[in-house]
Amino acid sequence: MTHADDEVAAVAGRRPRRADAQRNCEKIIAAARETFAEGGVSASLEEIARRAGVGIGTLYRNFPTRRDLFETVYRTEVEVLCQAAGELSERPPWEALDGWLRRFATYAVTKRAIIEALNHESAVFEGCRNAIINCGEPLLRRAQEAGEARQDATFEDVVRLVGGITMGQFSDPDQVDRVLGMALDGLRARPR
């Protein structure tokens, strides 16, 4: 188990044990992710339950407070992001970094809606931040060592670059991908 795996395990939330309860929990998390991304932190919990196909009582049984739901969705997104880093690490260095940063951009859109509800000083936020650094930074370092990414770029630089793009308002979803591609082209090392 890698250090990044340890970080992911540290931020993992409690999960129900019964199969039906697990399915309901997963459906609620998926519905919450979509609803928060669309409607922000003020999204209706009733709408989340409706989209998940469960009663509001089931939602509250799994997530007694709105904050519990925010934190679980956030941790789940970070877990998926870290798993993607592990899966992509077998690919060539630039391909792995590019693929992970594109996945990070998707995560950042969801994070923007949820982060409003979380305190930046919270243990959940700090654990997730550390997990992201521990799984993403090695991909950048590997691309730099292969001469495929700019040597002067830090992981924080790259996160801010991608995060800045995701903060923009785009009328066309394909435009986000094009703009992100242009930014990542700027991260690539240029032959001398």
The verdict on residue 192 lying in a domain is no
Q: Which position has the higher pLDDT, 82 or 3?
A: 82
Q: What is the pLDDT of residues 74-87, one digit of tens each?
A: 899 899 999 999 99
The verdict on residue 85 lying in a domain is yes
Token pair of 155 as six digits: 């992981």
The verdict on residue 41 lying in a domain is yes
Name the residue among 10, 38, 2 with its Cα closest to residue 130: 10
The verdict on residue 139 lying in a domain is yes
If you average pLDDT over every residue of the chain, what do you get?
85
Among 5-14, 91-100, 133-142, 143-152, name the one with the lowest average pLDDT: 5-14
| Domain span including residue 106 | 3-187
- Rounded distance, CA 107 to CA 33, Å? 10
Say which residue the tokens 């959940």 belong to: 124
Cβ atoms of 165 and 114 within 8 Å: the answer is no
Long-range contacts: 102-106, Cβ < 8 Å, 24+? Answer: 102/177, 102/180, 104/132, 104/136, 104/159, 104/162, 105/162, 105/165, 105/166, 105/176, 105/180
CATH number at residue 176: 1.10.357.10
Q: What is the pLDDT of residues 140-187, one digit of tens each?
A: 999 999 999 999 999 999 999 998 888 777 778 788 889 999 999 999
- Rounded distance, CA 71 to CA 73, Å? 6
DSSP string, 138-155: HHHHHHHHTT-B-TT--H
How large is the average pLDDT for residues 98-103? Answer: 94
The verdict on residue 145 lying in a domain is yes
Q: For residue 94, what are the contacts with CB-CB under 8 A and spacing of at least 6?
A: 143, 146, 148, 149, 188
Q: What is the pTM of this model?
A: 0.79
Number of domains, the chain: 1
How many residues are recorded in the chain?
A: 192
The verdict on residue 174 lying in a domain is yes
